[in-house]
Structure 1
């Protein structure tokens, strides 16, 4: 079975209604795996898989369980390769919250990403808290999880500002990845880019 077919089956599994309410759907799981791939500390597969599902899903059989978990692990490796490449990171959804942000796939992706951050929060912020927070801002804004905080409420109330921040997510991901995974290369990010 090709990776594309495996992903298709994973997507059908994660997007099914039978999963626990707090389990991540495919787009949210992609965000979650992106965060795990960005973090400097490696989370054991068993831990992040269990957290992704919130409670053990009802698999048809052992073979399905092995297939779904293996595909998740492969998807995580695929995302890590994407992050490490020089190409702009592509999200599995539009960079747009649409008319109803709570229903948008992008919101789901950002929430999934933040779930991944929360799994190892200290590892994200221990060295460059200010920089990491700044780079995480577009994703935090997109997630809507922080809208009760005044600074986030102000951004959320300004549609143009929201749009400006959200389109920065791919760039922010690349910067976060370099900062957390390759800190020696950090000065390169801060130099102005010549077009």
Structure 2
């Protein structure tokens, strides 16, 4: 079975209604694994897979479980390779919140990404809190999770500003990856910090 076919099967599995309501669907799972791939601290596979599903799915048999978990691991490795390459990172959805943001795939992807950040929040912010916060901003805006907070309220009300920020997500991902994995190669968009 080709990787594309495996992904199609994984997508059908994650998007099915019978999963636990807090389980991540395919697009959210992609965001979640992107965050896990960027985080400097690696999370054990068992832990993040269990957290992704919220509770053990009802697999038909062990073969199905192995196939689904194997594809999750393969997708995560694929995402990590994409982040490490020089190409612009591609999200599995449009960079657009559309008419109904709560219903958009991008919102789901951003929420999944933040779920991945929350698994190891300290590891994200310990080395460069300010820069990381700045680069996470477009994703935080896209997630809608923070709209009630004062610094997000104004952005949430301004659709154009939101759109401007959201299109920066692929760049932000590359910058975060470099920052957390190759701290010596500071991307150009960061000004050196004066000690």
Pair 1:175 & 2:180 matched: no
Between the aligned partners of 1:9 and 1:62, the Cα distance in structure 2 is 16
The correspondence of residues 122-161 of structure 1 with structure 2, limited to 5 A, is 122-161=122-161
Which residue of the partner structure matches residue 88 of structure 2?
88
User: How many residues are treated as equivalent by the alignment?
Assistant: 191
| CA–CA distance in structure 1, aligned partners of residues 131 and 39 of structure 2 | 14
Question: How big is the shift at 1:141?
Answer: 0.3
Unaligned runs of 5+ in 1: none
Distance 1:157 1:84 in 2: 35
Distance 1:66 1:133 in 2: 36
Report the RMSD for the aligned CA atoms in angstroms: 0.9
Tell whether the 8 Å contact from 2:15 to 2:26 is kept in structure 1 after alignment: yes
- Give the TM-score taking structure 1 as reference length: 0.96
Partner of 1:115: 115
Distance 1:187 1:91, change over 3 A: closer
Tell me if structure 1 keeps the 8 A contact 2:89–2:170.
Answer: yes
Please report how far the alpha carbon of residue 189 of structure 1 lies from its aligned counterpart in structure 2 after TM superposition. Answer: 4.3
1:10-49 aligned at under 5 Å gives the runs 10-49=10-49
**Gapped regions of structure 2 (runs ≥ 5):** none
Q: What is the distance in 1 between the residues matched to 2:60 and 2:100? A: 35
On the 8 A contact 2:38/2:180 being kept in 1, the answer is yes
Offset at residue 34 of structure 1 (A):
0.1
Structure 2 CA distance for partners of 1:74 and 1:101, relative to 1, 3 Å = same
Which SS does the other structure have where 2:140 is aligned?
helix
CA drift at 1:153: 1.2
